[in-house]
Amino acid sequence: MKWPRRSALTGILLSAGIGACGADERFLSGSGDGGAFVGSSSGGVGTDSAIGGNGNQAGIGQGGAAGSAVDSGADARTDGGPDAATDAGDSASPDGAGLLGSCEQPLTGVGLVSGDTSAMPNDLDPTCASPQGSGNEIVYEITATENGRIELALQSSPDLGVSVRRDCRDATSEIGCADTRIGGEVLSTPVSSGQTVFVVVDGFSSTQSGAYTLDVTVKTAMCGDDALDGGEECDDGGIDPGDGCSGSCAVEACTTPRVLTDTINGDTTSSPSVMHTSCANSLSGPEDVYQFIAPTSGNYQFIVTPAGDTDFVLAVRPACADAALEECADAGFDADPETRDVSLTANESVFVIVEGWGVPDAGAYTLQVSSSG
């Protein structure tokens, strides 16, 4: 892909440079005037490009002064594949590797920024873009300095979406994606202190590219505000303990999980709904949490069998309140058993979550674990 060296970069430079209004000052840190996020050195847009900045200006990269980022991006341009691993869903041979606004040269910014994807590469495929493939994209890199969440509001005439991922070239690391057709996009994703995430502004399909504005605001974590922040395991909108989510926004069931050894009967009818497994509906039902410690190394099979016509999902994860590495099973519907096989070493602990697929899904079940050799 040929890269129009200046015209596109003009848009990018402006995009990253327009103001930082609205950032939560408590969340700000970094070099110089301060920034809500610490930008990467390669993608840093010079402070000169910031328009209307103030003493609390966010989104200022650590990197170079005005102009240097432009040159850096352009010079870094290559058409070869990056060293970074690619994955299913993204281009295996990225055209944009090393370009300013690519994974290797991400922009930084917070507040209201604008840009144009028209002349950008098309390497990444967010999960909420067209199944036939997304359009060109621009990438921002953001590093949180406190626990909290990033709130993104995208406006564009072309059909663009916005997504957040932990690893820029790993689509499976995506932690949020918004791409509807009307009224722009809104997305909120939790971030933990020190965590770097990549914000991808992408066309819904290959024909969708153009100008946009992206309002990036950051919120400091606050337990009980009904929004999941970095550092929180749950947030049910309150701080009362005993309802499944503690006053410090920890999943109470993870503190004292029931122990699974072989077979156990359970019922989620009166269980809390404060967790969310990766294969349940976005609005899911109540859940039960179990801990299983493998007596010996080997393969284990977990099966949940509904007693009635409840639609359960089954998740097995190493960390009780973190879905990042979980194995999740949702292969059926009402009354169908769900099965997940995992390989464990002796004394390895995993947490098993039985969750209703949707909000109304609750009921009795049998959970069984067996060694499968």
Distances (CA, A) of 193 to 27, 95, 142, 143, 234: 10, 32, 11, 8, 17
Name the token pair of 306.
């509904």
We find the least distance from the C-beta atom of residue 74 to other proteins, in angstroms, to be 34
We find the least distance from the C-beta atom of residue 102 to other proteins, in angstroms, to be 26
Cβ atoms of residues 223 and 147 within 8 Å: no
Does residue 25 bind other proteins (CB under 8 A)?
A: no
Cβ atoms of residues 77 and 57 within 8 Å: no
Residues 295-324 within binding reach of other proteins (CB under 8 A): 311
We find the least distance from the C-beta atom of residue 186 to other proteins, in angstroms, to be 10
Listed ranges 23-31, 167-175, 327-335, 362-370: which one lies at the site for other proteins (CB under 8 A): 327-335
Does residue 157 bind other proteins (CB under 8 A)?
A: no
We find the least distance from the C-beta atom of residue 181 to other proteins, in angstroms, to be 4
Listed ranges 101-109, 246-254, 331-339, 345-353: which one lies at the site for other proteins (CB under 8 A): 331-339
Kindly report the number of other CB atoms within 10 A of residue 360's CB atom. Answer: 10
DSSP letter assigned to residue 61: B
Taking CB under 8 A as the criterion, the residue among 2, 55, 88, 132 binding other proteins is 132
Taking CB under 8 A as the criterion, the residue among 95, 104, 159, 355 binding other proteins is 159
User: Which residue lies nearer to other proteins by CB, 131 or 242?
Assistant: 131
Distances (CA, A) of 93 to 75, 101, 127: 19, 16, 18
We find the least distance from the C-beta atom of residue 208 to other proteins, in angstroms, to be 9
User: Which residue lies nearer to other proteins by CB, 111 or 285?
Assistant: 285
Taking CB under 8 A as the criterion, the residue among 92, 333, 345, 373 binding other proteins is 333
Cβ atoms of residues 27 and 148 within 8 Å: yes
We find the least distance from the C-beta atom of residue 334 to other proteins, in angstroms, to be 6
Cα–Cα distance measured from residue 260 to residue 248, given in angstroms and rounded to the nearest whole number? 27
Distances (CA, A) of 325 to 10, 93, 195, 257: 40, 27, 17, 19
Q: Which of 123, 122, 121 is nearest to 99 (CA)?
A: 121
What residues does 176 pair with on adjacent strands? 164
Taking CB under 8 A as the criterion, the residue among 41, 308, 360, 371 binding other proteins is 360
We find the least distance from the C-beta atom of residue 281 to other proteins, in angstroms, to be 6
Give CA angle at 187 (185, 192), nearest 5°: 155
Does residue 205 bind other proteins (CB under 8 A)?
A: yes
Taking CB under 8 A as the criterion, the residue among 223, 357, 362, 369 binding other proteins is 357
Stated as kind and residue range, the H or E segment containing 69 is: helix 68-75
We find the least distance from the C-beta atom of residue 68 to other proteins, in angstroms, to be 40
Name the token pair of 245.
């989510």
Cα–Cα distance measured from residue 19 to residue 10, given in angstroms and rounded to the nearest whole number? 16
Residues 256-295 within binding reach of other proteins (CB under 8 A): 281-283
Backbone angles phi, psi at 26, to 5 degrees: -65, -20
Residue 197 in 3-state DSSP?
strand
Residues 91-130 within binding reach of other proteins (CB under 8 A): 130
We find the least distance from the C-beta atom of residue 328 to other proteins, in angstroms, to be 11
User: Which residue lies nearer to other proteins by CB, 241 or 360?
Assistant: 360
Query: Judged by CB under 8 A, how many residues of this single chain contact other proteins?
Result: 24
Which spans of this chain sit near other proteins (rule: CB under 8 A)? 130-132, 159, 180-182, 204-205, 281-283, 311, 330-334, 336, 357-361
